Structure 1
Amino acid sequence: MADDERVTRQQYRQQRRQPVEDDEPTQPSEPETSSSSRQAYAAENNRALEEVKTKRLARKLNWVIAGLILGIIIVFLILFLTP
Structure 2
Amino acid sequence: MADEDRMTRRQYRRRQTETKPDDDDSDYADQSGRTSASRQAYAAENNRALEEAKTKRLARKLNWVILGLVLGIIAVFLILFLTP
TM class by shorter chain equals: 0.5 to 0.7
Q: Given the two structures, how large is their TM-score scaled by the length of structure 1?
A: 0.61
Map 1:1-83 to 2 at 5 A: 33-83=34-84
- Structure 1 runs (4+) deviating above 3 angstroms are none
State the match for 1:21 in structure 2: none
Q: Where is the helix percentage greater, Structure 1 or Structure 2?
A: 2
What residue in structure 2 maps to residue 17 of structure 1?
Answer: none
Mapped partners of 2:72, 2:36: distance in 1: 53
Rounded to whole Å, the distance in 2 between the matches of 1:44 and 1:62 is 27
Q: CA deviation at 1:34?
A: 1.1
**Kindly, what percent of the aligned residue pairs are identical?**
81
Q: Identify unmatched segments of 5+ residues in structure 2.
A: 1-29
**Distance of 1:77 and 1:71 partners within structure 2:** 10
Instruction: Return the letter of the residue paired with 1:80.
Output: F
Cα deviation, 1:9-42, whole Å, max 9, x if unaligned, reads: xxxxxxxxxxxxxxxxxxxxx6652111110000
- TM-score, normalised relative to structure 2: 0.60
Give the aligned length.
54
Larger Rg: 2
Aligned-residue Cα RMSD (Å) equals 1.4
In the alignment, the residues of structure 2 paired with residue 61 and residue 33 of structure 1 have an alpha-carbon distance, to the nearest angstrom, of 42
